[in-house]
Amino acid sequence: MTLAFRELFSEEFHRLDNGDPLLISLIGAGGKTSTLMWLAQAFYRQGRRVLFTTTTKMYRPAASTYHHLWIGQPSSASNTPAITAWFSHYQPESNKVEGLNCQQIDEIKQQGEFDVILVEADGSRGLPLKAPARHEPCIPSNSDCVIALTGGQVVNRPANPQQIHRWAIFSELTGINAGDCLNQRVFSWLISHPQGMFKGTPPDARRIWLVNQFSHSDNQPDPAWHQVLRQDPLLSAIWLGSVQETPPIRHCLRRVAQQSF
C-alpha cells in the first residue's frame, strides 16, 4: 500500500503544523543523496523552507536541486518556501563539498529560520550496505527523525564483501561470513545492535529503515519484514521502494496499534 507524503511523515508534520522546526538525518548506504533530494523537493512542495547539508562530504549538488547555495558564510534566509543548500567548503579538484558540523546544525535548528533541515550524516562510498566505524555516523543531537538506508539489491542475497562498506566491521558485528545470506536475522541484529545501523541515533528520534531500490516493490511484503519490525521496539517503520521512482515508497510497515500497512 502506497501512502501520501504527509502520511509517511505524519508525526513530523504534526511538529511542523505546530510551528516547530524539523531535523531529519540520513544514515546507512544505498541512496542517501537521492533520498535527500527527494525529501527536499517534497517538503518544498508542501510549502516549507528547506535546508539541506551534510556532516561529512558529498558531491556538489546540481543547480536544479536548490534555489540558494551557500558555501561558507550564510546569506539571509528566505521568508518564503525555498530550498537552500549550505556547506562550509568546496573542493574543485574532487567537485565535493564539506558540510557543517553537528553543533552548527543543532544551532541552526534552534534559530528557526528553516522549517525543515535535511542532513546526510554518513558516508558509504556508493555501496548498498555498511557498518559504521567508530567515528560514524555524525548525527546532530537534535534530530527528530533518523532514516537508515539499505540498498534493496543486497537483501536476501549472499554477502559480498565488495558490496559492503567496512566489511570487516560488518562481519564482526553480525557474525556472518562472505557468502552467507543477508536475511531477516542479519538485518534484525544490525538494526537493534547499539553499534549497528542506528548507532548514535538520539534517544527520542523516530527511527525509519528505508530499503531503497527494492526490486519487488510491486509485490506484497514478505512476512519476514513484519518480523523485523516486531523484534525491535525502537524501530518505528520500514519503507520499501525506490526514491527515484513514482511513487518513491511502495510499502510502509509501521508500528501503529500493532498494525502494519
More confident residue, 220 or 10: 10
What is the Cα–Cα distance from 90 to 255, expressed in whole angstroms?
41
What is the Cα–Cα distance from 253 to 47, expressed in whole angstroms?
27
188: phi then psi, degrees, rounded to nearest 5? -60, -45
Q: Give the mean pLDDT of 200-222.
A: 83
Global confidence as pTM: 0.94
Residue 261 has pLDDT above 80, yes or no: no
Q: What is the pLDDT of residue 217?
A: 47
Report yes or no: 130 and 26 within 8 Å, Cβ to Cβ: no
Report yes or no: 188 and 228 within 8 Å, Cβ to Cβ: yes
Residue 257 has pLDDT above 60, yes or no: no
Q: Give the mean pLDDT of 84-91.
A: 97
Domain spans, the chain: 23-210+233-251
Residue 250 has pLDDT above 70, yes or no: yes
What is the Cα–Cα distance from 47 to 258, expressed in whole angstroms?
33
More confident residue, 154 or 223: 154
Please state, in angstroms and as integers, the Cα–Cα distance from residue 132 to each residue in 32, 61, 126, 136, 137, following that order.
15, 24, 14, 5, 6
Query: Across the strands, what pairs with 59?
Result: 96
What is the Cα–Cα distance from 133 to 165, expressed in whole angstroms?
10
The mean pLDDT of the chain is: 92
Residue 214 has pLDDT above 90, yes or no: no
Report yes or no: 53 and 86 within 8 Å, Cβ to Cβ: yes
More confident residue, 247 or 116: 116
| Nine cell digits for residue 101 | 558540523
